[in-house]
Amino acid sequence: MLTTTLCGVELKNPIIPASGTFGYGYEFHELYDINILGSLSFKGTTAEPRFGNPTPRIAETPSGMLNSVGLQNPGIEKVIGEELPKLRDCFHGPIMANISGFSLEEYASSCEKIDGEEGVAWIEVNISCPNVHDGGMAFGATPEKAAAVTKAVRAVTKKPIIMKLSPNVTDIASIAKACEAEGADGVSLINTLLGMRISLKTKKPIMANRMGGLSGSCVFPVALRMVWQVYEAVNIPIVGMGGVTTAEDVVEMMLAGATAVEVGAANLVDPFACKKMIEDLPSVMKTYGIDKLSDCIGGAHHG
């Protein structure tokens, strides 16, 4: 059995394409029936339209990639008016709305608007964004800042909120606990790790923004470690992600403590990645003697 339950919502399987790697979903429906997915987290959405960072904003790395796209999106109003209806036309499962912001007011405003939308089951709040009112430090950099966003969003929403945590911190468990204390229904982790590449030809950083977020299979051990640590610290569900490329990785993430698993960079390498993982899960479960996938959640902590 592949089902799992995330914040009271049942998913037919735990696999969710991660925000920023699956557009607004309907683009992939041209390739296969995306209704096989447990859910999908649509492209990070902000209050106002954003063109994103200057190019080049992608760089390859061994076993991964760097990106500094900069939350390119059409803004919350257009997402609600145009993108969500297109997605609902082809996807009939629960939708995860990914919301970003650059001030507490922006987070609260966008989350309040998306809260009333049909089909949206959870709001995934990306707190890796820089706070423009506080010197540019990311909202997820400290427990206090993370708690402030959680509190602001919780005050204006009724849907479950899942705080998406940055790995670029010293103690991710303390940040997860702060979010839980202010009413978060779940946490998702990890977002990308900060990295960079330098061109030997130009002797300069490859990306215009100099640094970017590292993703891909190279980050999987780090992501797994952080999911493990957060599972030990909180009593709310975890959506695990970071370098997941196979059905075996999905099971490993769940053993570390994840209730559901997001798949990111793998979609950019192979648009059928999530489909293949879902198809492979039954045989992987059979190989390792797993009858019910949800029984794996946190299983490695109980040995």
pLDDT along the chain (303 residues), means of 10: 97 97 95 98 95 92 92 96 97 97 96 96 90 72 96 98 96 98 98 95 95 95 98 98 98 98 97 98 98 97 81
Instruction: Give the strand pairing for 186-189 and 238-240.
Output: parallel
pTM reported for the whole predicted model: 0.96
Beta-bridge mates of residue 114: none
Q: At what angle do helices 172-181 and 143-154 cross, to 10 degrees?
A: 30
| Buried/exposed code over 113-142 (b: 16+ C-beta within 10 A; e: otherwise) | bbbebeebbbbbbbbbbebeeeeeebbbbb
Environment class of 109 (CB within 10 Å of its CB; exposed 0-12, middle 13-18, buried 19+): middle
Distance CA 253, CA 248 (A): 9
Distance CA 72, CA 231 (A): 32
Which pair of tokens denotes residue 213? 């977020």
Q: Is 7 among the residues known to form the active site?
A: no
- The predicted structure's pLDDT at residue 44: 94
Fold of 4-52+71-193+216-301: TIM Barrel (3.20.20)
Q: What are phi and psi of 278, to 5 degrees?
A: -65, -45
The residues, any chain, with a CB within 8 Å of residue 261's CB and separated by 6 or more, are 14, 15, 16, 239, 240, 241, 244, 249, 250, 253, 254
Distance CA 159, CA 296 (A): 26
- The predicted structure's pLDDT at residue 123: 98
Nearest to 122 by CA among 262, 245, 22: 262
Using CA atoms, how far residue 144 sits from 19, 127, 134, 150, 154, in Å, is 25, 12, 13, 10, 15
Nearest to 73 by CA among 109, 98, 39: 98
End-to-end CA distance of the chain: 22
| Buried/exposed code over 192-217 (b: 16+ C-beta within 10 A; e: otherwise) | bbebbbeeeeeeebbbebeebbbbbb
- The predicted structure's pLDDT at residue 133: 67
* Domain extent listing, the chain: 4-52+71-193+216-301
Distance CA 208, CA 224 (A): 30
- The predicted structure's pLDDT at residue 130: 66
CB 177 within 8 A of CB 234: yes
Cα 88–chain centre separation:
20
Nearest to 124 by CA among 114, 137, 132: 114
Q: Which of 111, 129, 274, 296 is catalytic?
A: 129
